[in-house]
């Protein structure tokens, strides 16, 4: 058993890492206009950046489990957070759209690996407090997602968008140091688990649910401020509503994980989320400005399928090694499918000159959410490949 001091160090490292899993996304989306004006890029590049984020999540999700088996979970986390820090700093000093894109790749390759690695780390170090620590890191993820756009605009107005974009590197640097401190005493190669049968309804359902959740979350994170500004809201008002959308994830982080573990079949959560998302898209189609707060609320609560997915990954896995492999598979394929959203829907907006087609397409994909959720939520255990 690891000493209590080590567990406290790992817990703090988990907390700081979780806090920064989304700050570089939501904190930059409200700065895209200023960065675009200075670096001379438009909606297509902005959409490409949103797609790159989720594509990096997908690739890193596949790469992280074998890396962890070779280097150990903590050392992999240390490398991931170091890459995130380097990418955030490079983005803050970017002198061209190309450098900005390269920086985005570096930063979110690290974030994507951390997405996957935190689940088995929590399962390994805190097996007796799995739900409490899982809830903690999901809450901190949402806190960072909420705080980033709220802080970004005042910092940008006072010091410029580069300082606002790069400030979070201070926190990720501390997290990286903490991970490296834990490595010599705790890091060891992770046992290789038996292969997972990805063709089972449970795994396919988790993949589909993660994919649709990713599609909706990152399309909204990338384009929701622009949608609201096109409807007549100010830049500040749009940023506040994006923060409200992100902040509602705090409710989900507190409520969804324990509710998921208590319910024999948590499918009703999926149904409620899909209904809220449908109401949001219908509202944006009919009255985007007048009901903006209501639609942001519906979206913020509707994407609660994200903590549901993460909770099911941990709950359906037998051990840390299996959780790592299942997490990598579900997030890798899920983010890979979901990454088409920001770029494709941004391109559709540019062609059509409006957002109504986008709202309709996103609403249709909720049918996939319902079908995938049915399979993912059934009370069955993870099966191994024969």
Dump pLDDT digits (tens) for 332-349: 888 888 777 777 887 888
Does residue 146 surpass a pLDDT of 60?
yes
Does 129 map to a domain?
A: yes
361 versus 250: the higher-pLDDT residue is 361
Distances, alpha carbon 236 to alpha carbons 13, 23, 219, 232, in Å: 33, 18, 20, 12
**Highest mean pLDDT out of 4-18, 93-107, 139-153:** 93-107
Does residue 308 surpass a pLDDT of 90?
yes
Instruction: Calculate Rg over the CA atoms of the chain.
Output: 20
Does residue 1 surpass a pLDDT of 50?
no
Instruction: Give dist(CA 96, CA 99) in Å, integer.
Output: 5
34 versus 187: the higher-pLDDT residue is 34
Q: Which residues, 6+ apart, have CB-to-CB distance to 63 below 8 Å?
A: 113
Nearest to 339 by CA among 27, 77, 108, 98: 108
Does 216 map to a domain?
A: yes
pLDDT at 48: 72
* Mean pLDDT, the chain, integer: 83
pLDDT in tens, 359-379: 999 999 999 999 999 999 988
Segment 103-117 shows an average pLDDT of: 88
Our count of domains for the chain comes to 1
Does residue 232 surpass a pLDDT of 60?
yes
pLDDT at 192: 55
Does residue 143 surpass a pLDDT of 90?
no
Segment 1-9 shows an average pLDDT of: 59
Does 106 map to a domain?
A: yes
With bands split at pLDDT 50, 70 and 90, how would you rate the model's confidence at 305?
very high
Does residue 311 surpass a pLDDT of 70?
yes
For residue 273, what are the domain limits? 4-377
Nearest to 305 by CA among 239, 199, 211, 237: 211
Does 254 map to a domain?
A: yes
With bands split at pLDDT 50, 70 and 90, how would you rate the model's confidence at 384?
low
Does residue 314 surpass a pLDDT of 70?
yes
pLDDT at 188: 52
Instruction: Give dist(CA 249, CA 139) in Å, integer.
Output: 8
Does 386 map to a domain?
A: no
Choice among 114-128, 168-182, 224-238, 355-369 with the minimum mean pLDDT: 114-128
Instruction: Give dist(CA 143, CA 150) in Å, integer.
Output: 11
Does 385 map to a domain?
A: no
Model pTM?
0.74
Residue pair 123/317 in contact (Cβ under 8 Å)? The answer is: yes
Does 319 map to a domain?
A: yes
Choice among 147-156, 166-175, 275-284 with the minimum mean pLDDT: 147-156
Nearest to 77 by CA among 122, 106, 126, 118: 118
pLDDT in tens, 253-303: 888 888 888 888 999 999 999 999 999 999 999 999 999 999 999 999 999
How does DSSP classify residue 126?
-
With bands split at pLDDT 50, 70 and 90, how would you rate the model's confidence at 79?
very high
Question: 266 — phi, psi (to 5°)?
Answer: -85, 20
Nearest to 115 by CA among 53, 69, 168: 53
CATH value at residue 338: 1.20.1250.20
The fraction of the chain above a pLDDT of 90, given in percent, is 24
The fraction of the chain above a pLDDT of 70, given in percent, is 91
190 versus 98: the higher-pLDDT residue is 98
């Amino acid at each position: 058993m690891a000493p209590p001091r080590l567990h406290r160090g790992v817990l703090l490292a988990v907390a700081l890492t979780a806090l920064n899993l989304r700050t570089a996304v939501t904190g930059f989306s409200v700065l895209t206009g200023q960065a675009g004006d200075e670096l001379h890029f438009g909606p297509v590049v902005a959409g490409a950046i949103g797609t790159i984020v989720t594509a990096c999540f997908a690739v890193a999700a596949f790469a992280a489990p074998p890396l962890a088996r070779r280097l150990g979970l903590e050392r992999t986390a240390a490398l991931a957070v170091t890459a995130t820090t380097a990418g955030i700093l490079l983005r803050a000093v970017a002198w061209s759209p190309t450098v900005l894109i390269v920086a985005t790749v570096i930063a979110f390759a690290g974030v994507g690996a951390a997405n996957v690695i935190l689940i088995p780390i929590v399962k390994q170090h805190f097996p007796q407090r799995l739900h409490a620590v899982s809830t903690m890191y999901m809450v901190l993820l949402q806190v960072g997602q909420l705080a980033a756009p709220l802080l970004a605009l005042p910092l940008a107005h006072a010091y410029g968008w580069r300082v606002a974009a790069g400030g979070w590197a201070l926190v990720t640097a501390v997290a990286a140091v903490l991970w490296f401190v834990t490595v010599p005493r705790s890091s060891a190669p992770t046992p290789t688990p038996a292969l997972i049968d990805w063709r089972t309804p449970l795994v396919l359902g988790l993949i589909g649910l993660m994919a649709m959740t990713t599609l909706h979350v990152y399309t909204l994170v990338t384009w929701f401020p622009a949608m609201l500004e096109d409807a007549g809201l100010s830049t500040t008002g749009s940023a506040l509503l994006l923060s409200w959308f992100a902040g509602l994830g705090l409710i989900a982080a507190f409520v969804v994980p324990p509710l998921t573990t208590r319910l024999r079949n948590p499918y009703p959560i999926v149904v409620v989320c899909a209904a809220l998302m449908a109401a949001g898209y219908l509202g944006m189609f009919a009255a985007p400005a007048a009901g903006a707060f209501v639609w942001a609320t519906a979206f913020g609560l509707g994407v609660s399928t994200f903590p549901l997915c993460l909770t099911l990954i941990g709950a359906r896995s037998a051990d840390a090694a299996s959780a790592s492999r299942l997490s990598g598979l579900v997030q890798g394929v899920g983010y890979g499918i979901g990454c088409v959203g920001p770029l494709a829907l941004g391109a559709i907006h540019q062609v059509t000159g409006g957002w109504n087609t986008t709202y309709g397409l996103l609403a249709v994909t909720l049918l996939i959410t319902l079908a995938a959720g049915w399979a993912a939520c059934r009370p069955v255990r993870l099966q191994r490949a024969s």
